[in-house]
Amino acid sequence: MSKKESFNFNTLFRWEGLLVILIIGTSIVNGRLSTHFWSYAGIMDALAVFLEKGFLVLSMVFVLIIGDIDISVASITALSSVVMALFFKAGLPMELAIFVALAVGAGCGFFNGLLISRIPNLSAIIVTLAGSSLYRGIAYILLGDQAVGGFPSWYSYLAWGYIGKTNIPFIMVAFLLSAILYGFILHRSTFGRKVYSIGNNLTAARFSGVPVAKIKQIIFTLNGLMAGVAAVFLTSKLGSSRPNIATGYELEVIAIAVLGGVSPSGGRGGIVGACLALILMRLLRYGMGLKNIPGQVMMVIIGIVLVCVVMIPNLLTFRKKPIKLSKTQE
């Protein structure tokens, strides 16, 4: 086999290549289910309404690569949304209320990172599990079962508006710029190399001079900040704020990141794969929605797809490994 053929074969079965194949196949099926899907407006509608989760996926990639996990992002999103709405209701201009939401998200993430990075033997899953209950509980204490709306008309532009006369959703442009920024940080910066080194070998990274605690602190703060960003766009899409918004987002965000090739054990993954997985997940939901499949069944199907996609590369690796025979077997 020539080098060119070997390169093509390896590229085909890279994680991102597999996701591209699944996206193409899903798009073909969706196109058969609805002729509207292949129109420009159909594709924009299929992708744009899902992108508030994309902001959470971008920062979750960093968290998973260092070998940690954050299951409090949905609750941080809810708390950021509620605090933003209450400040606006109290008379603060909406522009400043948005910055309050971002500050609340970053503050919650900073608190998570402080506990995880400074207290020895305290796992991220325990801290963020407690944080999930804490932040969601505070949101319910502040707002109860009520909803706050009545935001300025321009605020809905963030989720539903288009750039000029181009018919390109504003939220899509915001997500693409964020993805480029996070991709550059992860794949082209010294900070990104330190992130991978922590995920590959925490002890070796610490002895080689990598400031592990500081980097973890930064990553969890960024994760909280992106939860605040998601809160701003999600509240804009819904038109109101309630304590129960974003319920279940944390599991779906983690699933999308893992589907994109990010290893839960750390040290592997990237932004491109996560973005492709986000598109695939949305296309799957869009297609099943066209067939009026219930939400519970959707979760089962998406779970099966996730398991299959995770297993395929491992099966390919297993087939390539030579079988070693012991002397008695020989």
What does the domain layout of the chain look like in residue ranges?
A: 52-270
Alpha-carbon span 262 to 273, nearest angstrom: 8
| Angle, CA of 58, 308 and 62, to the nearest 5° | 20
> What is the DSSP track for 144-209?
TT--B----GGGGHHHH-BSTTS--BHHHHHHHHHHHHHHHHHHHSHHHHHHHHHHH-HHHHHHTT
Number of Cβ atoms within 10 Å of the Cβ of 114 = 16
Q: C-alpha distances in angstroms, 171 versus 238, 305, 315?
A: 14, 27, 38
Phi and psi dihedrals of 93, rounded to 5? -55, 145
What tens digit of pLDDT does each residue of 7-24 get?
344 544 477 888 899 899
What tens digit of pLDDT does each residue of 82-107 get?
999 999 999 999 999 999 999 999 99
What tens digit of pLDDT does each residue of 274-299 get?
999 999 988 888 888 877 888 778 77
The alpha-helical segments, DSSP class H, found in 239-323 are 249-259, 271-290, 295-320
Decide: 194 and 65 in contact? Cβ < 8 Å: no
Phi and psi dihedrals of 211, rounded to 5? -75, 80
Decide: 105 and 169 in contact? Cβ < 8 Å: no
Alpha-carbon span 94 to 85, nearest angstrom: 9
**pTM of model > 0.85:** yes
N- to C-terminal Cα distance for the chain?
30
Rg (CA), the chain: 21
Task: Determine the average pLDDT of the residues in 142-161.
Answer: 92
Alpha-carbon span 56 to 78, nearest angstrom: 13
Which residue reads 């018919």 in tokens?
167
What tens digit of pLDDT does each residue of 16-60 get?
888 899 899 988 888 888 777 777 777 777 778 889 999 999 999
What tens digit of pLDDT does each residue of 164-220 get?
888 889 999 999 999 999 999 999 999 999 999 999 999 999 999 999 999 999 999
Alpha-carbon span 258 to 182, nearest angstrom: 17
Phi and psi dihedrals of 144, rounded to 5? 65, -140
Q: C-alpha distances in angstroms, 113 versus 68, 118, 198?
A: 11, 8, 15
Length of the chain: 330
The confidence score (pLDDT) of residue 274 equals: 94
**Residues forming a β-bridge with 148:** 241
